[in-house]
Structures are given as C-alpha cells and as structure tokens.
Structure 1
Amino acid sequence: MSRIGGFVLVMFIAITTTAVVTFLPYINELDRRRDAVGHGSLVANLDIGPIEYADSGAGIPLLSIHGAGGGFDQGLALAADLVGGGFRVIAPSRFGYLRTPAPRDPSPVAQGDAHAALLSKLNVRKAVVVGVSAGARSAVELALRHPDKVAALILIVPALYPPSSPVSINVSLGNRFAFWAVNAGGDFAWWATENTAPSILIRFVGVRPALVAATPQAERDRVMSFLKSVEPLSLRLPGINIDSIPKQYELPLNEITAPTMIISARDDLFNTLPAAELAADNIPGAELVVYDTGGHLLVGQVQQVRKAVRTFLARKGLIP
C-alpha cells in the first residue's frame, strides 16, 4: 500500500470512529426518548378525532395543557412541578403532538372542544384547568365555550393575544439556528446542541442562560430535563408548526366565569407579561402573580409558583 493510500485509510478510520462515537450516544438517547413517550399514555377515540392522554394519580381532576414542544409527558411534568401532588392529572397531547394527529381544524377553539370532549369521555364533570404557554390558548377557549367543565383556570406564562405588545421571540443567530432545527424536525441537531451548546436552546425556550447558570444544580437539572423533554423533536413537529402560526385575536375574556389565576415573569423572553396583564384586567376577579425573574420556565420560582397555586386552590375549596 502506498504512503498516500495508508494516510487515506488512517483518515477514513479516524473519521468513521469519530462519527460512530458521536452518533451512538444520540441513537441510544433517541431510542430511550421514543420508548418513554411510547408508554404511559392512552388514546381516546372522540368525535373530533383520536386524542392521546395520560391519566395519573387520584384526587380532584386537573387538566394539564402543555405548551409548544410538549405532549402528555410534558403535561405530567408541569403539573408535578408547578401544582404538586394530590390530584388526578389528565394530560392530553394537543393537536399534532406525539400520537394526537393534526386535524383539518387545529385552532384553539377546536382544541378547547377536544379538551371538553376528553373530560366527558373520562366521566369528569369538572376539572381544575392549567394552561401553560401556548396551552393557555385552548385553556381559555375551554373556559369560554364549556364553562361547566372548569372548576378553576390557571394560566402560566400565557401565550395569549395582547394587541399592543405581542408574544414573540427575538431573531438572534442562536434562535435562527434553533428555528432551523425545529423546522427541519432535526432530532440530531437538537440533541447535539443540547449537549454542546445548551445555552442556545435555553435562550430559545425563553430564558436568559445567565439566570440558569446562577441557580442551584437541582434547578439547572430541571431546565435540562425540559430541553430533553422536547425529544424526539420529529414526533412533535406538526404540533409545533400549529403553535408557531396561531391566528391570534382578541377574546371575550370578560365572559370567563371560572376563578382564575395568571402567572408570568418580567424577564420572560417570550414577552408573555403584557398578555398576562391584559387577561388579569379583563377576566372578572382574576389574580395576577408576577415574578421579577424566572423567564419563560420560571427558573428559580417553582416552589413559589406551587405555593401560590395551591394557596389559590385552597381558597377556592379545590385543594385535596
């Protein structure tokens, strides 16, 4: 073998080894995530179409409606973190997420109707409804269209419609890359960024990376767990696309009759505070809780959020 041929062979072996060493952990992690979302849920066949959901725990029913990039698994985690135990948590995968297909009409109105149909299918007369981020849209529609189903409404960093200061995300270079990964259904791109440059994804989900870096390890682990919960990205892409181009419009929030609590943070990079303030001003009797820091994931505020939510529900006679 010539010297050049030997060099090419060595380079080929080195590149192949590097690719295998890099790719195997990704394949293993993706398999674990696919396996995780393949268990722990059921599918209800409703007139509106099939809806995936998890049904966990015992107590007063609580409908946990996830945000963009989520699914039933994220709904369960959000309920555990932000509300705590003692509830029967029903966590649907919204339209386009995991095993819930995207219907012809994926609007928040149709999603609100799907939530009501799921509760009826499960013989749940009334539930505490928690809508997080983009999940707040269908939570509000549920409260407006099916008020008899909502014992209390809790909107957390709500991605609702404020006419003068819309919910948005800045178009930094890192966010443009993250948008590309999402739009490509890029499982590997998301995983690689999560493992090599997590600050890009932390900012993409609405939190300043410096805030996360300054928190205790347990809170940093929670943020990383949230980033991992977006995997497999490809199984959530149809839902992300639905959430990314909502037909935002002003809602008759003054017609909501359920006891309501709204929570946001001043430094939420998605700018949900104006929407939260507008909702609190218009929903009769709504209580507004605003944290100075925390970002879109309410980093460093989870215990305070849980305490505020449980105190609110206790006053309404809805705490287990």
Structure 2
Amino acid sequence: MHSFTHDGFDLAFIDRAPETGSGEPVLLIHGFASTHHVNWVAPGWVKTLSEAGYRVIAFDHRGHGKSTKSYDPDDYTPDAMADDASALLDHLSIDRAHVFGYSMGARVSTFLALRHPEKVATLILGGLGYGMVDGVGDWDPIAEALMADDATTIDHPRGKMFRTFADQTKSDRKALAACIAKSRELLSEDELAGITQPTLVGVGTRDDIAGSAKKLADLMPDAEAFDIEGRDHMLAVGDRTFKAKVLEFLKAHPLG
C-alpha cells in the first residue's frame, strides 16, 4: 500500500495498473466500517476491473483501515471525506476518473461529484438509493452498539450486524462511532438533480437500508437503476450480476 497526507490525515491507498494498456482510472470509495480490502479486494472488484483494462485506485477513509483515526465527529462530514478523495486524485495527477462508491462511499462519491464535478466522469452508486435523500433509519443504536463493552448485550438487529462487521474488520470502534455521528448528511432532490454525469445506481432487492435505486436515479438527468436480485446490503457488493452491469456501464461511458 501507499499513503499520502491530506487535512492532517495519513490516508492509505492502492493504485493497481490494468492487466493490459494504460487504463482509464476508476476510484473506489468504500462503505462505513469497511476498508478498501474488505469492500473492493476481497469481493473481487479490483481483480475484475483490472482484468477489464482499468486502472484501479482505492483508499481507506479517515478513521478506517490503515488510515489515521480521529475521535472528533466534526472530522467526518461528507464534505471532508469527499475532499480526501479529490486530494487523492490530485496526488496521483488524475484529472478525471470514474467514481464508484458503496453505501457510505456512495454518499461520499455523490458529494465528490457535487463539490468537484470536473473530476468525476461517471458515477456508480452501490448500496444507497433514495436513502440519500430521506435517510437510512435510526443509526444511534449502531453507535451505541459500537461502543458497548460487551457485544453479547446488544439486542438491536442492525446494531448487532454492524458491531459484528466492525469486529470482523478489526476496526477502531471509537473512530467509527465518531464517523457515524456526522457522515450521514442528506442531500435534497434539487441537489441531486444537478448531477449531470452518467450515473448507475445499484441496490439489492433485499436491502432494507439503502432505499429505492429507481427513485434516486429518477432525480438525475442521466441515471439508471439496477436491481441486484436477491441480495441484502452486505451481500450485494460482490454480486456477479452487479459486476457485469458495472463493466457494461463503464464500457458505454468511456472518459473520451
């Protein structure tokens, strides 16, 4: 892995050359409590995209993985995290890239497209649909679950799911609790209507967190929705039909 410094954080990242050619860059932005490895390497995305001829860049968000941790919630706004992604592109001298985010990473990707539209050629949003606008439920129990001394005392289903996930990824639970406090900022329908880049929104049909992919896609002038059949929030990311759809979408929208 490599690292660079932005806004006082050392951010760890990978930069994988394509199997053949120079490759158009694809920036991958992972979800809450995950890492670049858990979200993108382990489910086969880095391999899939590299083999398809793309240059693959993925990083660990502040507070996650091998990047610097903070326990100050104000460090985890979507604006700040989107600016980390923009700074990584600058660090690598990449003017424009395809941007693909999952769950919280989809929210950060959308903020990136709004704050730095010239850098985002296309946008792929996985695991987050209309929840971008109307929220994704009450996440206070998740913060409580992350900070619980004894995981066996957690009875909130979603809290238990994310606590188990955080423990599996060996995450800094205090940093994640700070992150969850400020990273869920919503966007308005009017703001989303201003995203003109070609956009793909993919959500699992059993995902009870993300909200409707179609309802979100309908807000944007050049967006399409994709139902990831039979998958919930955790399993949709590695789905083979989703991989095929993403490759089809990228091929249809070259950087040019």
Number of the residue aligned with 1:95: 62
2:211 maps to: 273
**What TM-score does the superposition give when structure 2 sets the normalisation length?**
0.78
Q: 1:105 to 1:301 in 2, by over 3 A?
A: closer
Map 1:1-320; keep pairs closer than 5 Å.
41-47=1-7, 49-58=9-18, 59-77=23-41, 78=43, 79-80=45-46, 85=51, 86-98=53-65, 99-102=67-70, 104-158=74-128, 160-163=131-134, 166-168=135-137, 182-184=146-148, 204=161, 227=165, 230-234=168-172, 237-243=174-180, 245-251=182-188, 252-270=191-209, 272-274=210-212, 276-299=213-236, 302-317=239-254
Look at both structures and tell me which one has the larger radius of gyration over its CA atoms. Answer: 1
> Do the aligned partners of residues 304 and 114 (structure 1) sit closer, same or farther apart at CA in structure 2, a change above 3 Å counting?
same
Contact map agreement 2:63 2:69 (CA 8 A) in 1: yes
8 Å Cα contact 1:94-1:239 kept in structure 2: no
SS of the aligned residue for 2:123 comes to: strand
Q: 1:144 to 1:130 in 2, by over 3 A?
A: same
TM-score using structure 1 length: 0.64
Cα shift at 1:273: 2.6
- List per-residue Cα deviations over 1:34-69 (Å, max 9, x = no partner): xxxxxxx22202346432212223322111111011
Question: What 5-or-longer segments of structure 2 have no aligned partner?
Answer: none
Give SS of 1:52's match. strand
Equivalent residues, number = 239
- Rounded Cα–Cα distance in structure 2 between residues aligned with 1:310 and 1:121: 26
Q: Distance in 1 between matches of 2:149 and 2:54?
A: 34
Relative to its length, the structure with more helix (as a share) is 1
Q: Percent identity?
A: 27
Kindly state the Cα deviation for residue 151 of structure 1 after the two structures are TM-superposed.
Answer: 1.6
CA separation of 1:244 and 1:74: change in aligned 2, threshold 3 A: farther
CA RMSD for the aligned pairs? 3.4
Secondary structure at the counterpart of residue 296 of structure 1:
coil
Cα gap change, 1:181/1:243 in structure 2, threshold over 3 Å: closer, same or farther?
closer
Q: Is the 8 A contact 2:31 2:102 kept in 1?
A: yes
Deviation at 1:201, TM superposition (A): 8.6
8 Å CA contact 2:9, 2:62 repeated in 1: no
| Unaligned stretches of 5+ residues in structure 1 | 1-40, 194-199, 206-225
Structure 2 distance, partners of 1:155, 1:293, is 18
> Aligned letter for 1:161?
M
